[in-house]
Amino acid sequence: MLMPEPDSAVLARRPQLVDALKRLIDPAGVIADSIALRAYENDGLTAYRQPPMIAVLPKDTAEVAAILRFCHQEGVKVVPRGSGTSLSGGALPLADGILLGLGKFNRILEIDYDNRCAVVQPGVPNLAISHAVAGRGFYYAPDPSSQIACSIGGNVAENSGGVHCLKYGLTTNNLLGLEIVLMTGEVLRIGGKHLDANGYDLMGILTGSEGLLGVVTEVTVRLLRKPETARALLAGFPSSEAAGQCVADVIAAGIIPAGMEMMDRPATHAVEDFVHAGYPMEAEALLIVELDGPEVEVDHLLSQVCAIAEANGATSQRVSSSEEERLLLWAGRKAAFPAIGRISPDYYCMDGTIPRSKLPQVLARMEELSLRYGLRVANVFHAGDGNLHPLIMYDANKPGELEAAESFGADILCLCVEVGGVLTGEHGVGVEKRDLMPQMFNDLDLNQQMRLKCAFDDKQLLNPGKVFPVLRRCAELGAMHIHRGQLPRPDLPHF
C-alpha cells in the first residue's frame, strides 16, 4: 500500500516539533519515544503497520484546537484515532504525521432522559453509553460487534452499523449534535438536542468522513427505550437461494425484523465447533431472525416469519424460549470472527454490500475465486440490508498468501460493485479500499468529493492518503476558467 511520500523537511524538524507540542499542551500527553509509539502503529487492519512520527493525547477541546492550529501553521499532517479498531486502516499513522489519540476524552457529560439523548466525549466506548442508561431502560441503538472497544467518535467517523441497523439505522441516523475542531483549530458546534440542520447538514457529512474533515470532540446521541422483549428464530436452509428468498419474503410481508443475519456452511461449521450453540451442521445457509417489541407483537410476527421459513423449505427451525436461549442463538454469529481466527492463522474481513437478490450469484463466483486463489472463504451476511462479510482465510507466514488474500478480497469487492452493490457497507474505505474507489466513482465524482474536503481542510493535512486514490491539490481542484468567457466544455458522461 502506497502512502503519500513522507516530507523529509518535516521529519528533520521532529525534535523541535516535539518541544513545541510539549509547550502547547500538557507535556505528559506528548509521546515521542519510539517504543511507546509502537502502540499506535496499526488499527484493526493489522496487515499494515507504520509508527507515527509523534503521538499526542490531548485532554480537552482546547488542547485539540491548539494542536491542530499548530499543525496547520507548520504544515504537519494529523491522523485522528479513537480505539483503533478500524478494519479499513482509517487510523493507520503516517511516518511524517502526528497521531491524535482521543483516549482521554472518556467521559459521559450529560444524560437527558426527557430529551432522550446523551452528550458524550468521543473516546467513550459505544457499549458504555448503553450501560450508563440501562438502569432507566434506555440504550443507544447502533451496535457494532466491536462495541465493547470501539469509540463513539470512531463510530461517527466511520458511520458504523451493527446487526440491528436494519430497523434502527446506522450511526448517522442516531446523532443529534457534534462538536468538531477543523484543521485550522476552529471549534464548531453543530446541532444540539433538536432535530435537523440549520443550513447544510454538516453533521451528516462529518458522519462517515473517516477523520478527513474534522476532529470530533463531543457527540450528542439519541437514546431509545429498550423494547419489552426480543426473541430469535434460527432456521437452516438447503441453499443460499432458499434462505435469501425467505429474507425477501419476510420483507415483502411488511416485516422489518430487529436483525436478520445469514451464515454460509463454512461459517456455520467454524462457529459451531467453537461455541456449540447447537447450529444445524447440515444446513447450507443459516438464518437468524430477531423480532423485538411487546410480547404480543413478537409472538404475532414470529409465527408469520416461521411460516415464511417453512414455505421456503427450511430444514430446521428453533425459536428462543428464554433470554439465555436467544443469547445462545446469537453467540455463534457474534463469535464468527474469532471462530474463523481459530481455524486459520489469519483472516481478512471484507465488507461489500450487494442487492440481496444477487447473493446466490455472488456466492457462486466467490467459490470459483476461492478455488482459483487456493484460499478458503466463509461468509457472514447482514441479510436484511445486503451487507456481506466474506472472511478470507490465509497464513501470513506463507510467502505470497497475504498478497493472494488481498487480491481475492479486491476481486470480491469489484464483484459487489459489478452486480449493483458498493465497496463498503460499514467498515469504511480507509487505505484498504482506497485504490478501488474508481470501480465505483469516476474522476468527476471523486473530484467533487475532494472539493468538499478542501472546504474543510484547504492544505489537506487531516488524515491524507485515506479514501482518495489520487491526491489533487485544492488549488487545482478549485480552478475554473469561466472568466475567459470560454468554459472548457466537459466531456459529458452518459448514464
Partner 1 sequence: MTNEISPTSAADLADAVCGALRDKAPLQIVGQGSKAGWGRPDQAMRRLSLARLSGIRSYEAAELVMTAGAGTLMSDIEPVLAAKNQQIAFEPADWGPLWGKPAGQGTIGGVLSCNLSGPRRFQAGAARDHFLGFTAVNGRGEVYKAGGPVVKNVTGYDLPKLLAGSFGTLSVLTDVTVKVLPRPEKQRSVLLFGQDPETANRAMTMALGSTHDISGACYLPMDLARRSHVDLIRNANKAVTALRIEGAGPSVEHRCTALRRMFGDAATEELHSMRSLAFWREIRDVATFMPDQETALWRLSVPPASGAVIAGRLASALPGCSWFLDWGGGLLWIAVPPVADIGAEKIRQSLVADGGHATLLRGPEVLRRSVPIIEPGALSQLLRRVKQAFDPAGILNPGRLSADW
What is the Cα 250 distance to its own chain's centre? 27
Cα gap 408→262, rounded to integer Å: 22
Contact between 16 and partner 1 per CB under 8 A: no
Contact between 306 and partner 1 per CB under 8 A: no
Contact between 342 and partner 1 per CB under 8 A: no
Contact between 475 and partner 1 per CB under 8 A: no
In total, the chain counts a number of residues equal to: 495
Q: Which residue has the cell 493507520?
A: 92
Helices then strands, each counted (H, E), the chain: 18, 19
Contact between 199 and partner 1 per CB under 8 A: yes
Contact between 25 and ligand FAD per CB under 6 A: no
Q: Are 141 and 224 in contact (CB under 8 A)?
A: yes
Contact between 1 and partner 1 per CB under 8 A: no
Contact between 161 and ligand FAD per CB under 6 A: yes
| Residue among 49 and 451 whose Cβ is closer to partner 1 | 451
451 touches which of partner 1, ligand FAD, none (CB within 5 to 8 A by kind)?
partner 1
Residues 6+ apart with CB under 8 A from 259: 163, 164, 166, 167, 232, 288, 289, 290, 384
| Residue among 244 and 464 whose Cβ is closer to ligand FAD | 464
Cα gap 274→336, rounded to integer Å: 9
Cα gap 75→67, rounded to integer Å: 12
What is the Cα 157 distance to its own chain's centre? 8
Residues in the interface with ligand FAD (CB under 6 A) total 36
Contact between 158 and ligand FAD per CB under 6 A: yes
Task: Look up residue 265 and give its amino acid.
Answer: R
Task: Look up residue 16 and give its amino acid.
Answer: Q
Contact between 182 and partner 1 per CB under 8 A: yes
43 touches which of ligand FAD, partner 1, none (CB within 5 to 8 A by kind)?
ligand FAD
Contact between 144 and ligand FAD per CB under 6 A: yes
Q: Are 467 and 434 in contact (CB under 8 A)?
A: yes
Residues 6+ apart with CB under 8 A from 274: 332, 335, 338, 339, 342
Instruction: Kindly tell me which residue out of 1, 251, 327, 414 binds partner 1, with binding defined by CB under 8 A.
Output: 251
Dig out the grid coordinates for 269 from the structure: 461449521
Residues 6+ apart with CB under 8 A from 227: 258, 292, 293, 294
Looking only at residues 181 through 200 of this chain, which bind ligand FAD when binding is defined by CB under 6 A? none
Residues 6+ apart with CB under 8 A from 141: 162, 164, 165, 168, 169, 174, 222, 224
Contact between 203 and ligand FAD per CB under 6 A: no
Task: Look up residue 289 and give its amino acid.
Answer: V
Contact between 208 and partner 1 per CB under 8 A: yes
Instruction: Kindly tell me which residue out of 72, 427, 433, 453 binds ligand FAD, with binding defined by CB under 6 A.
Output: 427
Contact between 29 and ligand FAD per CB under 6 A: no
Cα gap 362→443, rounded to integer Å: 27
11 touches which of partner 1, ligand FAD, none (CB within 5 to 8 A by kind)?
none
Neighbours of 24 (CB within 10 A): 17
333 touches which of ligand FAD, partner 1, none (CB within 5 to 8 A by kind)?
none
Q: Which of these segments, 94-102, 226-234, 264-272, 280-288, binds partner 1 (CB under 8 A)?
A: 226-234
Cα 432 to Cα 27, 86, 170, 402, 406: the distances in Å are: 34, 10, 21, 13, 9
Instruction: Kindly tell me which residue out of 76, 91, 94, 277 binds ligand FAD, with binding defined by CB under 6 A.
Output: 91
Dig out the grid coordinates for 270 from the structure: 467454524
Q: Which of these segments, 16-24, 159-167, 400-408, 449-457, binds ligand FAD (CB under 6 A)?
A: 159-167
Contact between 314 and partner 1 per CB under 8 A: no
Q: Which of these segments, 182-190, 230-238, 327-335, 342-350, binds partner 1 (CB under 8 A)?
A: 182-190
We find the least distance from the C-beta atom of residue 426 to ligand FAD, in angstroms, to be 3
Looking only at residues 310 through 339 of this chain, which bind ligand FAD when binding is defined by CB under 6 A? 337
Q: Say what angle helices 14-24 and 61-74 make with each other, to 10 degrees.
A: 150
387 touches which of ligand FAD, partner 1, none (CB within 5 to 8 A by kind)?
partner 1
Instruction: Kindly tell me which residue out of 121, 207, 240, 312 binds partner 1, with binding defined by CB under 8 A.
Output: 207
Binding site for ligand FAD (CB under 6 A): 43-44, 79-87, 90-91, 102, 122, 144-146, 150-151, 153-155, 157-158, 160-162, 210-211, 215-216, 337, 426-427, 463
